[in-house]
Copies of this chain bind each other. A is one copy, B any other.
């Protein structure tokens, strides 16, 4: 599969896909003409990268998460530790996004679309959900 098709399937620009190869996140085959040749596994990894990057994980964190995906022979103890750590972070992100969503929902519901200026939910945006 050529890079264009993979770009479409993964939602990542071709430039980014080549960059991910440069930094060792994928290793596509090459054809005789020099073109990269991607497998479905590559597509899966790239889809995964697209998602987790857009959710605020760094490339190095994605590399860790990908190692859970790829290295089946790895020590399960280590896999479990990494996964558990990431799980907590993900739960936190979900909670924060839900807080943000509720605040915005409130905003949309209360600012009726006319020109009334008052929007009494303002403090919500500053994030009391994570103040505990």
> Which residue numbers of A lie inside 8 Å of B, CB to CB?
43-45, 47-48, 51-56, 65, 68-69, 72-73, 75-77, 79-80, 83-84, 86-87, 90-91, 93-94, 96-98, 100-101, 104-105, 107-108, 111-119, 122-123, 125-127, 130
Contact = CB atoms under 8 A, between A and B. Distances in A.
Given A90-B104, A105-B87, A111-B80, A45 B122 contact: no
Nearest to A112: B76
A19 B125 CA distance: 21
A108 B45 CA distance: 19
B79 A101 contact: no
A86 B48 CA distance: 22
Contacts of A104: 68, 83, 86-87, 90
- Tell me how many chains of this kind the complex includes: 2
B123 A68 contact: no
A114 B48 contact: no
A89 to B, nearest CB: 10
12 contacts: A43-B126, A45-B126, A54-B56, A55-B56, A55-B93, A55-B97, A72-B118, A72-B122, A75-B115, A76-B113, A87-B104, A90-B97
